[in-house]
Amino acid sequence: MKIEEIRVLSNEELAKQLEEGKQELFNLRFRLTTRQLVNHREIPRVQKAIARIKTIMKERELGIR
């Protein structure tokens, strides 16, 4: 998800996306541990998506944008 797509979401939608991202990251890490994960690049992709969402949430909290 690109930053422009994240900026148009409401606060509730951001919170939902953040929760889904955390759940997906948990599942990917679990699959990595059990050696069922095929594409290892998925983990950094999800981490970056979570970081983008958190950044937008913090910007809104501080009133930056």
36-62 residue pLDDT tens: 999 999 999 999 999 999 999 999 999
What is the set of domains in the chain, with CATH numbers?
3-62 (1.10.287.310)
At what angle are helices 42-62 and 11-33 packed, to 10 degrees?
Answer: 150
> What's the gap between Cα 32 and its chain centre?
18
Non-local CB neighbours of 52 within 8 Å, separated by 6+ positions: 1, 3, 6
pTM over 0.95: no
**What average pLDDT does this structure show over 3-28?**
96
